[in-house]
Amino acid sequence: MDHYLLSLWNSTSSGQVKVQQLAEILNLSSKQTRRKLNKWQEEGWLTFQAGRGRGNDSKLHWNKDVETEYEQQFIAQLEKFSIEQVSKLLLYKWSAETKQRLMTRFQSKFGFHQEEQERLIIPRFYRFLTYHPLKAADVHSANLVANIYNRVVALEEDDTIIPELAHSWEVNDKKLILYLRKDVAFHDGSILKAEDVVQSFMQMKQDEIYAELWKPITKISSPASLVVELEFPNGCTYILPLLSMMPASIYKESNGQVIGTGSFYMGENSEEKTVLHAFKHYYGKRPLLDTVEFIQVSSEFGNVYYGAHESREVGTFEVKSDSGFGIVVMNPYRQTDIARKEVRDYIHMLIDENRSQISTIDSRTSENNSGCLIGYSMPYSLPKIAKPSLLKPLRMKYTGYTKDVSNWLKSILDHAGISTKLEEVSFHDAVYYDHLKAEADLFIHGEIFELNQSFSYFNFIKNNISPLRKLTKSDPLLQEFIQAYDELPFKQWIEQHLKIEKYLIENSLCIPLYYSKRQIPFSINLMNIKMKHFGYVDLSKLWMKPKY
Encode pLDDT of 510-529 as tens digits: 999 999 887 776 767 778 88
Per-residue pLDDT band at 115 (split at 50, 70, 90): low
Q: How much is the average pLDDT of 283-303? A: 82
184: exposed, middle or buried (C-beta count within 10 Å: 0-12, 13-18, 19+)?
Answer: buried
Name the segment(s) of the chain with CATH classification 3.10.105.10. 320-517
CA atoms of 117 and 289, how far apart (whole Å): 8
Average pLDDT over residues 323-331: 91
% of the chain exceeding 70 in pLDDT: 91
Summarised one tens digit per residue, pLDDT across range 169-216 is 999 999 999 999 999 999 988 899 999 999 999 999 999 989 999 999
Average pLDDT, the chain: 88
Q: What is the pLDDT of residue 313?
A: 57
pLDDT at 139: 84
* Closest to 129 (Cα-Cα) out of 433, 463, 495: 433
Query: What class does CATH assign to 3-64?
Result: mainly alpha
Which tops the pLDDT comparison, 306 or 400? 400
Q: What whole-number distance in Å separates Cα of residue 153 and Cα of residue 164?
A: 5
Mean pLDDT of 10-36: 92
Residue 438's pLDDT is: 79
Section 33-37 average pLDDT: 93
Residues of each domain in the chain carrying CATH 3.90.76.10? 150-261
- With a cut of 90, say whether residue 274 has pLDDT above it: yes
Read off the pLDDT band of 132 (50, 70, 90): very high
The pTM for the full model equals: 0.76
Which range of 93-97, 274-278, 346-350 scores highest in mean pLDDT? It is 346-350
User: What's the pLDDT score for residue 437?
Assistant: 76
- Tell me, what's the pLDDT at 326? 94
- Whether the pLDDT of residue 111 is over 80: the answer is no
Q: Which of 421, 262, 269, 229 is nearest to 336 (CA)?
A: 421
Find the angle CA(16)-CA(21)-CA(22) to the nearest 5 degrees: 80
pLDDT at 297 over 90: no
150-261: CATH topology: Dipeptide-binding Protein; domain 1 (3.90.76)
Q: Give the model's confidence band at 306: pLDDT under 50 very low, under 70 low, under 90 confident, else very high.
A: low
Q: Is 340 exposed, middle or buried (0-12, 13-18, 19+ CB in 10 A)?
A: middle
CB 240 within 8 Å of CB 155: yes
Distance CA 161, CA 152 (A): 10
pLDDT (0 to 100) of residue 489: 92
Quick one: pLDDT at residue 441? 96
pLDDT score of 110 = 59
- pLDDT at residue 103 tops 80: no
> What per-residue confidence (pLDDT) applies to 98?
83
Least confident interval from 118-127, 210-219, 384-393, 436-445: 118-127
Mean pLDDT, to the nearest integer, of 116-123? 76
> DSSP 3-state assignment of 450?
coil
Q: 3-state DSSP call for residue 281?
A: coil
Domain 320-517 has CATH 3.30.565.10: no
The Cα angle at residue 207 between residues 202 and 209, in degrees rounded to 5: 140
Query: How far from the centroid of its chain's Cα atoms is residue 268's Cα?
Result: 20
What's the whole-number mean pLDDT along residues 531-543?
Answer: 83
Q: What angle, 0 to 180 degrees and rounded to 10, lies between the N-to-C axes of helices 19-26 and 30-42?
A: 90
Q: Where do you find CATH 1.10.10.10 in the chain?
A: 3-64
What is the per-residue pLDDT for 314? 61
